Amino acid sequence: MTTAFATVVALLALSAAGLVPVVATVGTRWVALPLLPLAGSVVAGLATAGSVSFGGPLLDWFVGLAVAGALAVFVVWVVRPELGPWTGPAGRRKGEGRQRVAGAVGFVAVVVACAWTLRGLKTPTVGFDARALWVMRPGWFLQSHGQLLVDLRARGFVIGQSAYPPLVSSAVAVAWRVTGVHTARVGVTTVALLNACALGVAAVAVVDLGRDAAVRLARRPDTAEGDVPLRPPAGPMVAGVVVAVLLVLVAGGVTEPFLTNGYADPIWSLAAVGAVAYGLQSGLDRSTGAVAAVLVLVAGLSKNEGLVCALALVVLLAARSVGAAGLRGDRTRWRVPVVVAAVEVALLAWWPVLMHAIGARGASTAFTTSDGVAGRTSAVVHGMSPYLHVLVLAVPLAVVGGLALSTVRRRAGVGNDLWAWLALAVGLVAVGGALVTGSGAIVPWIRSTVHRITEYPVLQAWWIVGAWGVVALCGLARPRPVRQPDGDDGALASSLDGPVLDREAAPAHGALG
């Protein structure tokens, strides 16, 4: 079996595991396609945690969890048929023709851009950490339970990162077991495609941002047009597609060579960016919330920095949902976000708690003040600064946008920018905090890792820039009346030729919108 064919088989196996839960929670949307293998990799990660906790082969756990998840979904569909995919995505209006076209075109454009970005796979690179950890541990995960515990504990094995979250290595282990091809190269290509899926989801979020903005703009009757039904303007939809494609290419530059050499940094960074895009920057509904929930799990189960960031994102996502529901509202309205957050925290905490419990190498963080917190903090700030120059662009753009375009942003249904900035700050603190409180010599540590551990804040800043680009073009779009049967309104395509409606729209997402 060739590497390419084995990778395809592996992605199909992962997708099969994620199929039913994703369709049940996200619905039949374009974004569900790249989300399937990511959800499957979450199942693989949890299967590894189950295997380490209770014994049993990884593949048995993987299949068992996938089947159990599917059965649970079917039971829910039987008990509550209104939650089935046949009723359409919850909270989403049926798109108009051009909105559907924009979605399809945007998805295809993102897929093509992602494929173009993956051309680095032509070079058969297996990264240093990939070979030493990410595509080495899968072999452990496929050994017997007793031997796996030895592998994770044995002090002579010196690799202190053995206790790192399991998702990447688990996905590779499933790939190896399903295909029978136990090579580092298959591991790298599988991880690279999962990276591309995470990138694709984050980019499709921007496509959806533009599509949803167009629909929302058309919902507001123009004061000049009265209650005449409005056609979604094309401008925001085109902007969403263009910005999404550009962001894919930008992300390729930020994450290479690690996007295609088996490292775990890109997948957690891109998943976190996607979670913010769907959970904090987009309009709130069950479908977008489900996408964000899956991506949070991907980020948190992939790497320690991703875990810290994911836990913070859980809090932010729940806070936004609760804020939208209203604390003074019916308790059932905020019970769901709180329960979802609690389940996510439990799933995310399972692996690190387990590693502590079994005494795995590297499970205990070694805090140090050997170089002094001030000195380490200074070194971290100076080390990271050259990689964060995008903030010089993103901060003023967000300030100007926040001051002048907030009305447009709310009307377009785009979340308050502060949420995304909070998420970015959390990512910076997570990475910086790990460096400051870690035990390694700070200067060489930063020099050897800073370009990849800053991927998340850099990408997040670019996504913020992209969101403001879409919002700005929303401000220039003017919905036109839908052509009436007698055809006397002369409405054609929407245009970019007029100012946005002046009427103040009600905030769509509560206090922080």
Partner 1 sequence: MTLVGVVVGAVALVALGGQAVRGNRVVGAQLSARSVHDASVDDAFYQCLDTQAHSLVRPGQTVVLSTDNLADVITMIKGFGSWVTVADPPSRAQVTLTLHDGPAAPGTCLGTRVVATTVGPGGVRVVRLGTGAQVPGQGPPPAPPL
Residues 276-295 that bind partner 1 (CB under 8 A): none
Does position 122 bind partner 1 by CB under 8 A?
A: yes
Helix extents (H) in 142-183: 145-153, 167-179
Does position 184 bind partner 1 by CB under 8 A?
A: yes
Site for partner 1 in 158-177 (CB under 8 A): 158-159
Does position 454 bind partner 1 by CB under 8 A?
A: no
Least spacing, CB of residue 404 vs partner 1, in Å: 4
Does position 420 bind partner 1 by CB under 8 A?
A: no
| Residues 99 and 214 sit within 8 Å (Cβ to Cβ) | yes
User: Which residues have CB under 8 Å from 27's CB, separation 6+?
Assistant: 85, 88, 89, 90, 92, 287
Amino acid in the structure at residue 157: F
Q: Residue 428: what are its φ and ψ, rounded to 5°?
A: -65, -45
Q: Which of 245, 211, 210, 273 is nearest to 110 (CA)?
A: 245
Q: Which of 144, 134, 130 is nearest to 41 (CA)?
A: 134
Site for partner 1 in 468-497 (CB under 8 A): 468-469, 471-473, 475-476
Comparing CB distances to partner 1, the nearer of 74 and 128 is 128
Interface with partner 1 (CB under 8 A), residue total: 73
| Residues 132 and 362 sit within 8 Å (Cβ to Cβ) | no
User: Which residues have CB under 8 Å from 88's CB, separation 6+?
Assistant: 27, 94
Comparing CB distances to partner 1, the nearer of 184 and 270 is 184
Comparing CB distances to partner 1, the nearer of 117 and 287 is 117
Site for partner 1 in 288-347 (CB under 8 A): none
Question: 304-325 and 286-300 are packed helices; what angle lies between their axes, rounded to 10 degrees?
Answer: 160
Q: Which stretch binds partner 1 (CB under 8 A): 90-98, 112-120, 222-230, 360-368?
A: 112-120
Comparing CB distances to partner 1, the nearer of 235 and 337 is 235
Write out the DSSP string of 56-90.
S-HHHHHHHHHHHHHHHHHHHHHH-GGGSGGG-ST
Applying CB under 8 A, among 112, 400, 418, 511 the residue interacting with partner 1 is: 400
Comparing CB distances to partner 1, the nearer of 224 and 339 is 224
Write out the DSSP string of 425-445.
HHHHHHHHHHHHHSSS-HHHH
Does position 154 bind partner 1 by CB under 8 A?
A: yes
Three-class DSSP labels, 368-386: CCCCCHHHHHHHHHHHHHH
Site for partner 1 in 126-145 (CB under 8 A): 126-129, 131-132, 135-140, 143
Q: Which stretch binds partner 1 (CB under 8 A): 276-284, 319-327, 363-371, 459-467?
A: 459-467
Does position 500 bind partner 1 by CB under 8 A?
A: yes
Comparing CB distances to partner 1, the nearer of 150 and 349 is 150
Q: Which of 333, 299, 332, 329 is nearest to 314 (CA)?
A: 299
Comparing CB distances to partner 1, the nearer of 293 and 461 is 461
Site for partner 1 in 237-266 (CB under 8 A): 239, 242-243, 245-247, 249-254, 256-258, 260-261
Q: Which stretch binds partner 1 (CB under 8 A): 189-197, 318-326, 429-437, 464-472?
A: 464-472
Applying CB under 8 A, among 53, 125, 377, 378 the residue interacting with partner 1 is: 125
Q: How far apart are the first and last CA of the chain?
A: 51
Q: Which stretch binds partner 1 (CB under 8 A): 10-18, 113-121, 294-302, 333-341?
A: 113-121
Least spacing, CB of residue 469 vs partner 1, in Å: 3
| Residues 356 and 349 sit within 8 Å (Cβ to Cβ) | no
Sheet strands (E) in 374-427: none
Applying CB under 8 A, among 25, 99, 117, 288 the residue interacting with partner 1 is: 117
